[in-house]
Structure 1
Amino acid sequence: MTLAVIGTYAVAFCLVVGAFFALVAAIGLLKLNGSMTRLHAPTKVGTVGIGALLLASMIHSYVYAEGSMHELLIIAFLFVTAPISANFIAKVNIHKRACDMPPSPRQDKTWSTLNVPEADLEIEETGTDQPR
C-alpha cells in the first residue's frame, strides 16, 4: 500500500466524518427549539465537522501537492472563536432572561453575569443616561 492510497483513504474518512457532523449540526440548528439548546449545534458539532473537512483538505494537499498550512490556521481560528461566541450568545440570553435561569447562588456577588451595578439599573429603568 502506497502513501497515495493511504492518503486517499484518510481523506475519504475525514470527508465522511466531517459531512456527518456538519449534517448533524444543520439538523440540530433547525430542529432544536430554544436558543440556548440551538446554540450547541453550530458551536460544538459544526466546529468538529468543519475541522474534519479542513483536515481532509490538508491531508490531500500534503499527499498530492506541496502542502498547505492555511487550513491549520482556519481550524485554529474556528476552535478559538466558536466557544467565545457561544459564551457571548449564552450571556445575552441570560441577561434578557430568555431562557431558564440558573439557580441563585449563595451570594449574589459570585454570579458575575447577573451582578449589575445600581447606576446601570437606573439607566435601564429610565432609558437615558441622566439620573432621575
Structure 2
Amino acid sequence: MVNDVVVSALLISGALLSLAAAVGLVRFPDLLSRMHAATKPQVLGLLLLLLALAVEFESWLLVPLLVLCWVFQLLTSPVSAHMVGRAGYRTRHLRRDLLTLDELDDVVARAAVDHGPAAHQ
C-alpha cells in the first residue's frame, strides 16, 4: 500500500514536471526561454519517473540501468541546450529586448574586429 502511494506520487510529480516543460516550450516567447524550459524540468521529471520504476519493481538489477539512463540525460541535455543556444545566438534568433545582460556581445564584437571578414573565407 505504501509502495503504491510512493510510486503514484513519483509518477504524478514526474509527469507534472514533464508537462511543465512541454507547456514552457509552447508558451515561452523566445528561443532561450524555451531552451531553459526544455532542459531544466524535464531532467528532474525523468529522474522522478525513473525513481518510480525503481520503487515499483524493487530490483537492484534494474538500478544501474536507470542510473545510466539518468546520467546519459544529464550529460546530453546541457550539451544540446548549449548548442541550440549558441546556434540561436549566432543566427540572431533571439529577442534582445528580453535579455537582461548580454555577456557575449562584447566577445563577439571583439572577435569580429580581431579576425575580420577575411578569416571566414
TM over 0.5: yes
Q: Distance in 2 between matches of 1:113 and 1:56?
A: 49
Counterparts in 2 of 1:38 and 1:24: CA distance versus 1, 3 Å: same
Structure 1 letter corresponding to 2:28 = L
Secondary structure, aligned partner of 1:97 = coil
Question: Aligned runs of 1:8-87 on 2, under 5 Å?
Answer: 8-62=4-58, 65=59, 67-68=61-62, 69-87=64-82
The structure with higher relative contact order (CA 8 Å, sep 6+) is 2
Q: Which runs of 5+ in 2 are unaligned?
A: none
Q: 2:115 aligns with which of 77, 102, 118?
A: 118
Counterparts in 2 of 1:74 and 1:112: CA distance versus 1, 3 Å: farther
Secondary structure, aligned partner of 1:98 = coil
From the two aligned structures, give the one with the greater helix fraction.
2
TM-score, normalised via structure 2 length: 0.77
RMSD: 2.6
Highest CA radius of gyration, 1 or 2?
1
Paired residues of 1:10 and 1:56 also in contact (CA < 8 A)? yes
Count of residue correspondences: 114
TM-score, normalised via structure 1 length: 0.71
Secondary structure, aligned partner of 1:49 = helix
